[in-house]
Amino acid sequence: MSDQREVATIIGGPVSPYVRKVLAVCTLKGVPYRVDPIVPFFGNEEFSRLSPLRRVPVFIDDQVTLCDSTVICEYLDERYPSPRLMPSDPAQRARARWLEEYADTRFGNVTIWQIFYHTVIAPFVFGKERDTARIERAVTQELPKVMDYLEQHAPAEGFLFADISTADLAVAVFEPNLRWSRVELDKARWPRATAWMARVAEVPAVASVTKLGGMLMRASSLEQHRSLLAEAGVAVTEATLAAPKPQQSPALM
């Protein structure tokens, strides 16, 4: 494949950790992109056609249309191999894939669907009252199990491997959504895992997209999201795949 960086279209806003993972990979690899910062609940019929599971991000370039963050990142790593974001050693690569899968599914389920959804999405998108009992149960019972596992696998310093990998990104991108849900991870209880996430968060490519997500958390409409991104120097699409009214979506990945 050509090493020329083609402009990609990314459907989905940087409030989503899965979108931020892809945006960070694009930034690390110098892949230019434009964003249609929709929330998947507002996706129209064309969005459903492109992403049959109604998940974000959707990634479109001159060769592919993809709608899973892990698949997108693997494609980018293979098409644009510098800098390499997956280890070359087969055993390390398998470990990286597993930790990314664990983050995308288990960490994502607890952080996004049990905490962030009921803290932020349900009240602000669907006008529902917060399910405080469910949030409390997730924070006190489910999240500690995830963090205990990550603590066992967190590197003592640096990243998982010699250089930053998509596995590092996949874990770290969930921490901001916890903060935006007013949930702080206990640094004394999980010192290695929280320090690892903090090191990843300091990588400029990660910090920049996290800043975009935090900025959009303070906006209430797609129009505001688009204008704020444009003001921040992010290219936005001319048209949007947003529908006027939200509908339930099975996932945010």
- Residues in the chain, total: 253
Phi first, then psi: give them for residue 141, nearest 5 degrees: -115, -45
Q: How do residues 51-78 score in pLDDT, each as one tens digit?
A: 999 999 999 999 999 999 999 999 999 9
Nearest to residue 73, comparing CAs of 50, 103, 45? Answer: 103
Where does the chain hold its CATH 3.40.30.10 domain(s)? 8-84+205-236
Please state the separation of Cα 166 from the chain's center in Å: 11
- Contact call for residues 111 and 180 (beta carbons, < 8 A): no
- Model pLDDT for residues 147-202, shown as the tens digit of each residue: 999 999 999 999 999 999 999 999 999 999 999 999 999 999 999 999 999 999 99
d(CA 36, CA 222): 9
Burial of 241 (0-12, 13-18, 19+ CB in 10 A): buried
Strands 8-11 and 33-36: parallel
Per-residue pLDDT averaged across 137-141, rounded? 98
SS percent in the chain: helix, strand, coil, step 5: 55, 5, 40
Least confident stretch, 1-15, 24-38, 178-192, 218-232? 1-15
Give the per-residue pLDDT at 84: 97
Fold assignment, 8-84+205-236 = Glutaredoxin (3.40.30)
* Average pLDDT of every residue of the chain: 95
Confirm if 68 and 55 have CB atoms less than 8 A apart.
Answer: yes
Provide the pLDDT for residue 1.
44
Rounded to 10 degrees, what is the CA torsion of 142, 176, 234, 123? Answer: 60
Distance CA 95, CA 229 (A): 35
Contacts 24+ apart (CB under 8 A), 129-138: 135/181, 138/110, 138/114
In the chain, CATH 1.20.1050.10 sits at: 90-203
CATH topology assigned to domain 90-203: Glutathione S-transferase Yfyf (Class Pi); Chain A, domain 2 (1.20.1050)
